[in-house]
Amino acid sequence: MNREINTEIVSGVIGLILTAVFFFGLEDVFWMSLVFPKTIVFLMGIIACVLVIKGAVKPSRHRIFHEGSNVRWIVTAILFFSWVLIMPVFGFFVSTVVFMTIIVGYLAQARTQLTIGKFMTWTPIVIGEVTLFYLIFTKVLYVPLPTGMFF
């Protein structure tokens, strides 16, 4: 992924795909609800076309995903999604402790050698941190966090 691409053309194509998605997503509703989104969808289509034309006429290439390790951000993103998707099953507290510890370990391995001793230090810190936020949100701010099968 660490390569140069014509970002105008790619942005324009993505814009056109989104225009098509939203154009066909327009349901058969009364004009009052339709007039504004329809206008914007058309506007987005025009802007996307302009971008594609500009990219074709005056091509300029830019490097994308060139900062750091692509694998690391992708794995982090997968961990974030898993954390949130598992939350209703295990509850906020348990899923957060588990996934925060995994993410800490995963990101730390790029800088340091992972040992059981380090995990023994990190885990209580993570538990303390999560407990603090959990108590603030549930007891002070009265936000009912997802409980799942635990709490």
Q: How far apart are CA 94 and CA 150, in angstroms?
A: 7
Q: What is the largest CA-CA distance in the chain?
A: 65
Q: Where in 70-89 is the site for other proteins (CB under 8 A)? A: 70, 72-73, 76-77, 80-81, 83-85, 87-88
Residue 14 makes contact with other proteins by CB under 8 A: yes
The H-or-E segment that residue 64 falls in is strand 61-64
From the CB of 66, what's the least distance to other proteins, in Å?
9
Structural tokens at position 31:
């004009």
144: left (phi over 0), alpha (psi -120 to 50) or beta: beta
Residue 94 makes contact with other proteins by CB under 8 A: no
Looking at this protein, which amino acid is placed at residue 43? L
Q: Where in 98-137 is the site for other proteins (CB under 8 A)? A: 99-100, 103-108, 110-111, 122, 125-126, 129-130, 133, 137
Q: Where in 31-70 is the site for other proteins (CB under 8 A)? A: 32-37, 40-41, 43-44, 47-48, 50-51, 54, 62, 64-65, 67-70
DSSP 149: T
- Length of the chain (residues): 151
Quick one: 73 or 151, whose CB is closer to other proteins?
73
Among positions 119, 123, 145, 147, the unique one binding other proteins when judged by CB under 8 A? 145
